[in-house]
Structures are given as C-alpha cells and as structure tokens.
Amino acid sequence: MADSNADGSRAPLSAPRGPVVETIPEGDDRARLVCPDCGFIRYDNPKIVVGSVITHDGRFLLCRRAIQPRIGYWTLAAGYLELGETPVDGARREAWEEACARIDIDALLGVYHIPRISQVQLIYRASLRDGAFAAGPESQAVQLFRWDEIPWTDIAFPSVRWALNHFREVEGAAEFAPRINPPEDGAG
C-alpha cells in the first residue's frame, strides 16, 4: 500500500527484499507474486475509474475523446482516481479536466466491474453548475445532447451506454440503489 514515507516519497511502505515468484500464499486461494526471502505479497488490484453522467436543462454532456483508446468516440467525463483523492473529488476533477465543467454531484449512479481490463468504475449522477463547458486537453469536443440526439453508434465504451441508460431509469428519483453491469453485457 502506498502512502507518504518519512522522506515524503510515495514509494511502497513495504517492498520485497529480493525477486518475487508466483505462488499461492498460505491462507489464500489464488496465485500472487511473493518474495520467498521476506514473505512480501504483491497484490494486483483493479484500477478505479471515476466519472459522471452530467446533465444540464435535460441534456447530457458528452466528450469526444482526443486520446486512445477509442479516439474520436463519445464518452462521459471520467478517468482514473488519483492517490489521496476521494471518488467524488476525482469525478469533479475529471469533469474539469475533460470538459472544463464545474459539477454538482448528488448520487452514486453505478458501480461497474470490467474484468477484462481490471477496472472498477464509480459513476455519479451530476448536474452542470453554471452551464459553462469547453473541451479540455483529452477531448476533441464537448457537447450537450438531448436523449434522442445522443450519437449511440459512436459511444466509446459499453459502460457509457449502461450509465446513460441507468440515469434514465432513476431520473428524478431522490433515492435509489446504485446500478451494476447489465447481466447480458459484462464487457464494459
């Protein structure tokens, strides 16, 4: 686990003393990289992605990707959670970085698991605070779409479709359970 060390660095607080080997540690049920000298176990955990379905006056804010993967396709303002950030703060930061948008988050909309790329996505329901937005460095364009204008054939990832559809399911609801991957589509 990474945290600040006495010297201010963010290096792992514990690390293997020597080379690691793949083995099943005692008391575990899956292979891990383990240092036979000191017993250090390196856990490979999913990356956390945070983002938001952002709306304004009944329209949905989407970003046309300027980076790979899926350059030129439309997506939500979303990206990797940074060390030391709360998921809500990360979603706000991503909205600013990708869409120059200030947002108000009111609920966790969905928790999606994308095993093939080792991601867990936390997607929030949010509104555009002041109506202002512009393309950030990772976006070719940013645009508000009415539901019937969303470029469905040019959506970057299945999880973007899930989140948009889940938003519609709970639209106007003050309380709801966060949604998960649809049973028929675990791809993400």
- Averaged over successive runs of 10 residues, the pLDDT of the chain (188 residues) comes to 46 73 94 92 95 98 98 99 98 99 98 96 98 97 99 98 98 96 72
Interior CA angle at 115 toward 25 and 54, to 5°? 135
Q: Which of 83, 68, 54, 55 is nearest to 157 (CA)?
A: 68
The class (CATH top level) of 47-170 is alpha beta
- Domain limits, the chain: 1-44, 47-170
